[in-house]
Structure 1
């Protein structure tokens, strides 16, 4: 089930977009955007709050609180419905295109009567946009790129969205009488950054109770197939869920088979054939005679094939079979290995919670250390000043060690400018325990300039981590055009870590880039970039991505003891 907070976040964000489309007050639209983010990141279930409780959330005033209460009471908000009625459905579809804002979408409808993505693509091909005010050849290129991004994403959904839905369904089916095992499988278990369909597997003697239970879940809105061996439904969020039930004695074989990937399974079946065996979702059988020799657990199946158990995140036919046969499979990093988070934000800039609350929440995760890294002044909308950051430093120092001995690192997220410059001079940067540096603007620099920009940041002796290195937003914004191999080599040379940003819409670096960077000898930091308490749990997605990149704890600086981490952060500076 979707968290009520996320439902409200989506509704308020839509209302903000509708205000912008209809030419409403820009300040009002921004207020609703801010409230949407605040509610989405609020740790408590907002459906249980009254007006007074809602108004305690940053950015939520009387009017917004009333709308939230109306939504939970009636299932809709009157003013949102009224705004929707003013906007043709086609225009609302247009604003889902990355790079196309609401004002331009409305202009396209009013001036050219464009109300669909296909009509827009045809109009660009016919060069009809160039005569419109505010449009031009470059605008056309950007819109076409946005359409391509949307089509590339297709029906796929972000890892985090799929995970929340799958875990809710697994929890519900696990309560059905007769369930011996229940788990999600497929690309979700392999922690791919986007998911097509959600695969759920159950081990039980009878399938019917589980097939019925899936169709009867409150989140089920459409039954696609309802059968004895497979049932498929669509959720209220539009996610397709495929359920299969296997006998308990075939659980291991079924889980291995339905986890995939296709390439990995082809390799394991090929090994089976060479051993005179046949591998399927029902088990591992002798070719002659049909005797089943393994099936109850994945460990058993892999062992009979002469392999160690292979973590699902490695099962992409990228050398894991060969490494397993040689006994060289990596002991990949796990969430239990993480000793601290090195990139987080508070309400001093664009976070939602004050420092004390973020620190307390991090301590509850059992961290040995934790860094707060609010934005520096060159990200102008955050209005950071020297005085504010120094006051925060004093506050952080007063909290150091006060939560179960957890050590606090005071840092900042700097902005890498077009020439590789950052917000503060060297003398001021010396005062920070850690500096993350990220690209937040000028995304369209040429390849050479972009590469030089990031390499120069790596060469800065005070910069410890390159945050979200490619700047991509999955399905919305492509990564920057830079020679990443040169960047990775610079990171290895200078002792600058590359971030694996665990935000589900970033997962940046991605797994393929991690593999390349690792070959250069670079080190990594798995960070949440948390802007709320809830987002501290996103570390799991960063871990999954790091595992897909074959990283071990030694590759990841925030698995290290604090003393070793501090040596790395010093970057061998003369001071």
Structure 2
């Protein structure tokens, strides 16, 4: 079923996109976009709020609040349906392509009659777009790349979507089960999830299976049995529930967590020891006697290995490291002492400075940085005066939170030449400056590398924000020589960010490991635009674990004094 806030947010984002196609005023489009972000990041469940409660959501006025109530009561928004009816379904299908905006989709439909992704994929190499205004060779390449991205994503969903489904199911089934947890790629914290694996124990599987297929999120029962039942949710995600005896729990959890490559390595170790490892347990080959199966720790120990964290189980060297006793002590969510990247409603956030600080304080952090956008991201309309006024407000607010040190920062824009907003003198007034690429994503490798390196070498830049600028399934990572970038970061002590937003998770795990070899330090940041976004830090931590990071590798696990000294270059 998914989180109600996310469902409503998707509807208002679609509303904004469709209004853009129909030529509505830009302020109306922005109003729905802001409402979508605010609803998606709001901490309370919108399905349980009345009109007065909905009006408390930032950027949600009475008209939008009434539309939310309309959706809760009828399952649809009448005004949205009316706009949908004005726009051919083919145009809406084309807008799903990353890099293809709604207006260009309408041109393709009206001028060439293209109404599907497959038709567009055939039309470009056939030369049908040649001469069409606004569709040069570079645009065509970008569209084809966007189609490739979309097809590669297939039916996979972002990790937070899968997590929401898994946790809803576990909450519902746990009263009927001895143990109930998610396994598979979700437990390994992969960026996207193809299907969700739920593992449970029960003396009698029947009641558990019956409850599973009756859950509100179930759209279709694919298969049903005593040991395994598979359903498809209303959002199209497949979920497999497996019920195992309590005494087999550890072996089953190890097996169904995977990955396949990791399991092959552990089974090879078992075979060399005269053992057989399966989802039922670890057995003596000759006698068939069960050796261990109750816990994962027992299974790994009997194989001569320490327990391997799920995030490492990708056959990326973790088995060899385990044999040598060299597995890292991975960073944990509880290790984070603060957050170095967040936004307020001064720019594109949806919550006030006061609300963001209160939410940060509720996490028990030692420090928290407010880093609103700088002026070169023109649509945010930042000025020197606004930023300096915010700095005063931050300092004043800090007096109300003696246990939380507030850091005043900014997110700078790395322009096409590698320049950043504001001169060095102005930058020196900030506690922390994050610099990120927000435009011109398709520059060639050499130009992009030079651009990023120049930014990280700039005095006053402390953090390279969401380094690849990717949006998973929607925008490809920029093309850069990452070894050169990471070497520059190491030389200039520029921290490399792991942006925890589920559609970013940027830096990705494979590049984290490359950066680690260069000796860089990292920050795991929420990039929160609403109070509810702090919850995404769990996915940033999972990505850091997949990159083999320890607490010492992550600067926002450090005490404030050590962090500030590092940022100052001391």
Q: Which moved more, 1:450-459 or 1:254-263?
A: 450-459
Q: 1:381 aligns with which of 379, 397, 421?
A: 379
1:166-214: per-residue Cα shift (whole Å, max 9, x none)?
11111111022xx111000000000011111000000112222221111
Counterpart in 2 of 1:366?
364
SS where residue 478 of structure 2 aligns? Answer: coil
Counterpart in 1 of 2:33?
33
Counterpart in 1 of 2:76?
76
Q: Which moved more, 1:360-369 or 1:501-510?
A: 360-369
Counterpart in 2 of 1:206?
204
2:159 aligned with 1:159, yes or no? yes
SS where residue 130 of structure 2 aligns? Answer: helix
Counterpart in 2 of 1:113?
113
Counterpart in 1 of 2:440?
442
Indicate if the aligned counterparts of 2:281 and 2:293 stay in contact, CA closer than 8 A.
Answer: yes
1:423-470: per-residue Cα shift (whole Å, max 9, x none)?
111111111111111111121222222111211222222111100011
Indicate if the aligned counterparts of 1:461 and 1:571 stay in contact, CA closer than 8 A.
Answer: no
Change (3 A) 1:216 1:498: same
Indicate if the aligned counterparts of 1:333 and 1:552 stay in contact, CA closer than 8 A.
Answer: yes
Q: Number of paired residues?
A: 570
1:15-62: per-residue Cα shift (whole Å, max 9, x none)?
222222233333322221221112221222222333333233332223
Q: Distance in 1 between matches of 2:401 and 2:26?
A: 42
Counterpart in 1 of 2:96?
96
Q: Distance in 1 between matches of 2:233 and 2:492?
A: 48
Counterpart in 2 of 1:3?
3
Shift of 1:249: 0.1
1:323-368: per-residue Cα shift (whole Å, max 9, x none)?
1111111000001110000001111111111111111111111101
SS where residue 211 of structure 1 aligns? Answer: helix
2:428 aligned with 1:430, yes or no? yes
Q: Which moved more, 1:525-534 or 1:90-99?
A: 90-99
Q: How does 1:370-519 map to 2 (within 5 A)?
A: 370-400=368-398, 402-403=400-401, 405-519=403-517
Indicate if the aligned counterparts of 2:499 and 2:540 stay in contact, CA closer than 8 A.
Answer: yes
Q: Distance in 2 between matches of 1:57 and 1:333?
A: 34
Change (3 A) 1:398 1:320: same
Q: 1:551 aligns with which of 539, 549, 555?
A: 549
SS where residue 371 of structure 1 aligns? Answer: strand
Q: How does 1:282-321 map to 2 (within 5 A)?
A: 282-321=280-319
Indicate if the aligned counterparts of 2:59 and 2:350 stay in contact, CA closer than 8 A.
Answer: no
Q: Distance in 2 between matches of 1:393 and 1:208?
A: 60
Q: 1:191 aligns with which of 189, 192, 200?
A: 189
Indicate if the aligned counterparts of 2:331 and 2:550 stay in contact, CA closer than 8 A.
Answer: yes
Q: Distance in 2 between matches of 1:88 and 1:443?
A: 30
SS where residue 294 of structure 2 aligns? Answer: coil
Q: Distance in 1 between matches of 2:481 and 2:454?
A: 13
SS where residue 129 of structure 1 aligns? Answer: coil
Shift of 1:88: 2.7
Counterpart in 1 of 2:137?
137
Q: Distance in 1 between matches of 2:12 and 2:55?
A: 15
Q: Which moved more, 1:117-126 or 1:195-204?
A: 117-126
Q: Distance in 2 between matches of 1:52 and 1:11?
A: 21
Q: How does 1:257-276 map to 2 (within 5 A)?
A: 257-276=255-274
Indicate if the aligned counterparts of 2:34 and 2:350 stay in contact, CA closer than 8 A.
Answer: no
Q: Distance in 1 between matches of 2:473 and 2:164?
A: 19
Counterpart in 2 of 1:51?
51
Indicate if the aligned counterparts of 1:363 and 1:404 stay in contact, CA closer than 8 A.
Answer: no
Q: 1:332 aligns with which of 314, 330, 333?
A: 330
Change (3 A) 1:134 1:419: closer
SS where residue 124 of structure 2 aligns? Answer: helix
Q: Which moved more, 1:136-145 or 1:162-171?
A: 136-145
Shift of 1:401: 5.5
Q: Distance in 2 between matches of 1:49 and 1:331?
A: 43
1:371-400: per-residue Cα shift (whole Å, max 9, x none)?
111111111111111111111111111222
Q: How does 1:518-529 map to 2 (within 5 A)?
A: 518-529=516-527
Shift of 1:404: 5.3
Indicate if the aligned counterparts of 1:156 and 1:195 stay in contact, CA closer than 8 A.
Answer: yes
Counterpart in 1 of 2:560?
562
Q: Distance in 1 between matches of 2:154 and 2:315?
A: 24
Shift of 1:69: 1.4
Q: Distance in 1 between matches of 2:435 and 2:109?
A: 41
1:58-87: per-residue Cα shift (whole Å, max 9, x none)?
322232222111111111111222222233
SS where residue 133 of structure 1 aligns? Answer: coil
Shift of 1:91: 2.0
Q: Which moved more, 1:424-433 or 1:105-114?
A: 105-114
1:70-118: per-residue Cα shift (whole Å, max 9, x none)?
1111111112222222333222111101111112212222222221111
Displaced runs of 4+ in structure 1, greater than 4 A? none
Q: Distance in 2 between matches of 1:542 and 1:5?
A: 21
Indicate if the aligned counterparts of 1:401 and 1:407 stay in contact, CA closer than 8 A.
Answer: no
Q: Distance in 1 between matches of 2:382 and 2:20?
A: 27
SS where residue 225 of structure 1 aligns? Answer: strand
SS where residue 497 of structure 2 aligns? Answer: strand
Change (3 A) 1:164 1:81: same
Counterpart in 1 of 2:254?
256
Q: Which moved more, 1:109-118 or 1:153-162?
A: 109-118
Q: Distance in 1 between matches of 2:152 and 2:120?
A: 17
SS where residue 204 of structure 2 aligns? Answer: coil
Which runs of no fewer than 5 residues in structure 1 stay unpaired?
none
Counterpart in 2 of 1:352?
350
